[in-house]
Amino acid sequence: MNNRVHNFSAGPSALPTEVLQEMQESLLSYRGCGMSVMEMSHRGDLFMEIIEEARTRIKRLYNLSSEYEVLFVQGGASLQFAMIPMNFIGEGEKADYIETGTWSTKAIAEARIQNKGVRIAATSKAIDFTGIPTALDLSPDAPFVHVTTNNTIRGTQWHTLPETGNVPLIADMSSDILSRPMDTSRFGMIYAGAQKNMGPAGTAVVILKKEMLKKIPATLPTMLSYRTYVEKESMFNTPATFPIYAISLVTKWLEETMGGLIAMETINHRKADQLYGCIDEDDFYAGTAVRESRSLMNVTFRIRDHALEPIFIERALKAGLAGLKGHKSVGGLRASIYNAVSEGSVGALCDFMDDFRREHR
């Protein structure tokens, strides 16, 4: 394990070392059965236990009531962008979307491709999505309000979610799911691609309030209807077995090693405070997100002398600090400090940043 780097990649991203070790130990023979999880029948008893454990632990971590189903859907969050309007925007209805960056913009585009009704209830486009909008124009007649809770590219996050009254809130939590407690009773649906904070790429987790099923038209293709995933317990076709196995181990780690979501949130605040403190120490580095909107998961920043950034990235990688290049659409630097990124890794990054600052001041 000595050749492991400090992984700050935005996704696919770091997994807990303990989880990787457990997967490694059982790779050839899961629980002595003589085969890998990747080889076994998805309808066999062993895998049925795995998917049920993943589902049960998510429910327990979020304290979900019996009103909610936990589903596993292939296609990642990007498929959900299309499925949500297909399932939940009826004829003559307009859903409220709050635009806070690339991923919410893509979600809006998928609804419009289908000629579904969309209202932009708020946007931070005027400030290049560097902050969360505060003035919201929500409609009481909307079938739902859609938000992206954390924005990986610009490094912003909703710290207080909008009040939507009787209108269901639908949230893309791909990059901050399971990072903090949530009052789940406020949501009609939560969804997230696994590859940032839950496991490897290959599946999305959907937490769906059963009441939302009433909205779904009967004419949808089978695999594009959430009703199929509820009725068949995410087993209508072969699910992404290995990613679901990884999710079961990550949620076990969250519960049994980290102590649950309240404890995880405390750790995430400590990591973010340390890193933002390093950035704000003087004017050598500069954060790119509005302070009140700064993400606990994706810390975006620049070096005042932008010409130093390629040197920073190259030197950091040689020092065992990987994944620090900003998104190609905005450039700069980004450290993704998801649940599995340890406080030790954040400390190592801050030490490197301090050394780099002293050398190039």
Give the residue numbers annotated as catalytic, written as ranges.
103, 172, 196
Cα separation of 207 and 222, whole Å?
19
Residue 208 and residue 88 in contact, taking contact as beta carbons nearer than 8 Å: no
- What token pair was written down for 182? 């949530």
What is the Cα–Cα distance from 115 to 144, expressed in whole angstroms?
16
**Structure tokens given for 326:** 């900003």
Residues 6+ apart with CB under 8 A from 211: 67, 168, 188
> Measured between alpha carbons, how far apart are the two ends of the chain, in Å?
35
**Beta-sheet strands, E only, within 65-144:** 68-73, 94-99, 117-123
d(CA 9, CA 316): 13
| Max CA distance (Å), the chain | 64
Among residues 321, 344, 327, the alpha carbon closest in space to that of 11 is found at: 327
Short-list 265, 98, 101, 71, CA closest to 171: 98
